[in-house]
Structure 1
């Protein structure tokens, strides 16, 4: 991956090259801390070791036991988004879906559309007790029973060493994959959590991990030597100067789900102690016509992250005799996309609005591996610079306890707090 941070300097928020050079000393210290964490496989930091510690052989072996038309990942948050990001980005003859919401209408519609006899289900939860995941899995299992499908022949369990799912897998002799120790869900895309669906779809796991390893090899004590660190340091520096929002805009339809994955990574990791940067999801060129007005002419409180592959398939634009449109004939959709990308970038810069360009060569396994790893490294570095607990999510856990208490899953003070909701109804 390549990071061009030139348009992040000398904009409305006042980050200049001298300030960036000063920050580089702190990057060196942060890198030392990150490397100690990696060396000791500390919780969270172990995620940055995945290119070398993830063995793809068991994943391929389990995937080889199936020849389905579709794969359904049942999980929530990081237990599903990594798999969905990879499979959405890459073409495959196998359809991939993620059941990552408990909206009953949506769940029912998805299950009604699937041929469950030709679907392999991967239920993913480290603890094996995640309420949303287990509820959806019970619904899927019931739908399989109703369709006359033996769910035990179509189910893979990805979980930790203990918990309800582990017991279920042992009882029914289901194939299992391990959620790696020390890796929070949102950092687990490059592990069995994210790679099983990719393997079922026939994607090259070695290339995914090799792309990540390329970026891991670039991590050093200077932001000028690592695209991931450059992006993380600039994001942090701009946030400190008022860039409360990070608008992530991939210029490839296949990377739209990546923006969703990034949103969880950034929000759940960095939103602590009144700090952090709100991720906004956009898609180029679609959202040039819906959001760019705000980013260019609204409050100067945003970083815009523009992401693109430099090599893509193309399609010629037919010639036309329509007045004023003849300039399009003889060019291509790729030419138009490139022009739109560069025009957006220049438009923001001309208005003094900070933006960063992230590029991969192609949206293929290696490129996706590079992008996932580099942005994870960026997030970890940002967390070190901001002195936040990057790998925890206490606010999420509060809501989980409240919901569980409301459903009768135990006595939780958080559930009692729900009754104190202030109301001001207007009808």
Structure 2
């Protein structure tokens, strides 16, 4: 992974090279704290050890008994987004779907659109009690039974050592993968949580973990020696100067889900104590026509993160006699996308709007491993510099308790607060 922070300097928010030089001592201290956390496998920091601690063999064994047309992952948040990122970018030959919402019409349409007799279901929940996940799984199980499919022959569970899912797996002798200890869901893509779907979809797990390990080896005590830390430190420094939004814009259709994964990682980890950055998802070149106007000419309160592979398969553009378009003939879609990327980057810089370029060699296992690990390390560094509790999510837990109480799952003060909603209705 390569990170170019040149266009983050001397823009409207006033970040200078001297500011990064001054910040670098704090980066060194943060790196020492991160390394201590990794050495002790402390909660959260253990995620940065996954390239070494994740054993892909049990995952491959669990996936090897199936040759499905469809894979249906039932999970939400970190229990689905990492797997979706991997299969969208790297999978082939298997139709991978993710039930990560409880919209009833959408769930029904998804189940109607797959052949349940040749579908593998992976239900993922660390606690085994996640309401959305278990509700969707019960719906899937009933649909399989109604279709005459033995769900116990086509279900793999990924969960913790205790809870409803573990008990169900034991009762029905289902294949069960262990969620790693000390790894929050949004940091779990490179573990059993994300890798079962990847294995079913034909992804080379060894190469993926090797890419992540290569990026781990590049962590160092200076932001000028580590791409991940360069990004994390620059994002933090800009946020301190008013970059309240981080617009992540991959220039590869296969990386669109990566932007969704990044949004959870960044928002849930860093949105604490009145700080953090709001992640915005964009896609190059599509959103040059829908969002770039705001990023270039709107409020100077954003960092734009441009992500792309340096190489990919290409498609030539045919010659044409159409007036004004002849210049396109003889070039390719890849060359056009590259021109769009560089033009967007230069356009933002010319307007004084800060942007960072992140590149991987290709959208392949090694490149995606580098990218996911690098962003996780960047996020952890940002959290250390900001002094926040990176690995907790108390605001999310509040909402879970409120919803559970509304459904009769317990007596929670959070549920009582729902009835106190202020109303000003216009009909």
1:398 aligned onto 2:398: yes
Task: Tell me the residue number matched to 2:162.
Answer: 162
Query: Secondary structure at the residue paired with 1:225?
Result: coil
Counterparts of residues 86-165 of structure 1 (less than 5 Å): 86-165=86-165
Counterparts of residues 211-230 of structure 1 (less than 5 Å): 211-230=211-230
Task: Tell me the residue number matched to 1:257.
Answer: 257
Partners of 1:260 and 1:181 in 2: CA distance: 24
Task: Tell me the residue number matched to 1:279.
Answer: 279
Root-mean-square deviation (CA, aligned residues, Å) is 0.4
Q: Which runs of 5+ in 1 are unaligned?
A: none
Partners of 1:414 and 1:280 in 2: CA distance: 29
Task: Tell me the residue number matched to 2:328.
Answer: 328
Render the CA deviation track for 1:1-41: whole Å, top value 9, x for unaligned. Answer: 00000000010000000000010000000000000000000
Task: Tell me the residue number matched to 1:300.
Answer: 300
Cα offset, 1:225, TM superposition? 1.1
Moved over 6 A (4+): none
Task: Tell me the residue number matched to 1:32.
Answer: 32
Task: Tell me the residue number matched to 2:174.
Answer: 174
Q: Which runs of 5+ in 2 are unaligned?
A: none
Cα offset, 1:408, TM superposition? 0.2
Kept in 1, the 8 Å contact 2:195–2:205? The answer is yes
Cα offset, 1:243, TM superposition? 0.1
Cα offset, 1:65, TM superposition? 1.1
Q: TM-score, normalised by structure 2?
A: 1.00
Partners of 2:107 and 2:8 in 1: CA distance: 42
Kept in 1, the 8 Å contact 2:91–2:198? The answer is no
1:46 aligned onto 2:49: no
Counterparts of residues 374-413 of structure 1 (less than 5 Å): 374-413=374-413
Task: Tell me the residue number matched to 1:60.
Answer: 60
Partners of 1:71 and 1:266 in 2: CA distance: 27
Query: Secondary structure at the residue paired with 1:73?
Result: strand
Cα offset, 1:91, TM superposition? 3.9
Cα offset, 1:177, TM superposition? 0.3
Partners of 2:64 and 2:325 in 1: CA distance: 51
Task: Tell me the residue number matched to 2:237.
Answer: 237
Partners of 1:71 and 1:178 in 2: CA distance: 19
